[in-house]
Chain A
Amino acid sequence: MTAASIDAGAVADEPVDRSLALRGLRKEYVRGTPVLRDVSLTFAGRGLTAIIGPSGTGKSTLIRCVNRLVEPTAGQILFLGQDLARLRGAALRAARRRIGMVFQEYNLVERLSAIENVLCGRLGYVAPWRAWLRRFPREDVDGAFDLLEAVGLADRATQRADALSGGQRQRIGIARALMQQPDLLLADEPTSSLDPKTSVEIMELMVELAGKRDIPVIVNIHNVELAKRFAQRIVGMTGGDVVFDGAPGDLREEHLKQIYGGEAWL
Chain B
Amino acid sequence: MSDTAPAGAAPAPRRRDPFPANWPARIGWIALAAYTVYAASLFQLTWTRFVEGLDNGARFIARMLPPYLGKWDLLWRGLSESLEIAIIATVIGVATAMPIGLLAARNLMPNWVTWPARGLIALCRSFHPVIVAILFVKAVGFGALAGIMALIVASIGFIAKLFAEAIEEISLKQVEAVRATGAGFANVLIMAVQPQVLARFIGFSTYQLDSNLRNSTMVGIVGGGGIGATLFTAFQRFDYDFVLTILIAIITLIMIGEVLSGWIRRTFQ
Residues on B with C-beta less than 8 A from A98 are 182
With A and B bound together, what is the CA distance between A112 and B198 in angstroms? 11
Q: Tell which of B43-51, B70-78, B184-192, B230-238 binds the partner.
A: B184-192
Residues on B with C-beta less than 8 A from A97 are 181-182
A to B CB contacts below 8 Å, 16 in the list: A93-B182, A94-B182, A98-B182, A99-B180, A107-B177, A108-B174, A109-B174, A109-B195, A111-B195, A111-B196, A112-B191, A123-B184, A124-B183, A132-B190, A176-B181, A180-B181
Restricting to A104-132, which residues have a CB under 8 Å from any CB of B? Answer: 105, 107-112, 116, 120-124, 126, 128, 131-132
> How far in angstroms is the closest Cβ of chain A from B110?
15
Query: Which B residue's beta carbon lies closest to that of A128?
Result: B186
> How far in angstroms is the closest Cβ of chain A from B268?
13
Restricting to A126-145, which residues have a CB under 8 Å from any CB of B? Answer: 126, 128, 131-132
> How far in angstroms is the closest Cβ of chain A from B109?
17
A120 touches B178 (CB 8 A): yes
Residues on A with C-beta less than 8 A from B196 are 109-111
With A and B bound together, what is the CA distance between A220 and B191 in angstroms? 27
Contact with B along A71-112 (1 / 0, CB 8 A): 000000000000000000000011111111101010111111
- Whether A69 sits at the interface, judged by CB under 8 Å, is yes
Of B171, B173, B181, B199, the contact of A120 (CB 8 Å cutoff): B181
With A and B bound together, what is the CA distance between A93 and B182 in angstroms? 4
A95 touches B195 (CB 8 A): no
Given A96-B182, A109-B196, 10 extra CB contacts under 8 A: A69-B176, A69-B179, A103-B177, A109-B177, A109-B195, A111-B195, A116-B191, A122-B181, A123-B191, A131-B191
- Interface residues in chain A, defined as those with a beta carbon under 8 Å from any beta carbon in chain B: 67, 69, 93-101, 103, 105, 107-112, 116, 120-124, 126, 128, 131-132, 173, 176, 180
Please report the number of residue pairs spanning A and B whose Cβ atoms sit closer than 8 angstroms.
83
> How far in angstroms is the closest Cβ of chain A from B198?
8
Query: Which A residue's beta carbon lies closest to that of B183?
Result: A123
> How far in angstroms is the closest Cβ of chain B from A226?
22
Query: Which B residue's beta carbon lies closest to that of A110?
Result: B174
> How far in angstroms is the closest Cβ of chain B from A101?
5
> How far in angstroms is the closest Cβ of chain B from A90?
8
A131 touches B187 (CB 8 A): yes
A124 touches B182 (CB 8 A): yes
With A and B bound together, what is the CA distance between A180 and B173 in angstroms? 18
A128 touches B184 (CB 8 A): yes
> Lowest 9 A-B CB distances belong to which pairs?
A124-B182, A97-B182, A123-B183, A107-B177, A96-B182, A128-B186, A111-B195, A123-B187, A107-B173
B195 touches A120 (CB 8 A): no
Residues on A with C-beta less than 8 A from B190 are 128, 131-132
With A and B bound together, what is the CA distance between A124 and B196 in angstroms? 20
With A and B bound together, what is the CA distance between A132 and B186 in angstroms? 9
Residues on A with C-beta less than 8 A from B179 are 69, 96
Query: Which A residue's beta carbon lies closest to that of B184?
Result: A93
A107 touches B184 (CB 8 A): no
Residues on A with C-beta less than 8 A from B176 are 69, 103, 107
With A and B bound together, what is the CA distance between A116 and B198 in angstroms? 16
Query: Which A residue's beta carbon lies closest to that of B195?
Result: A111
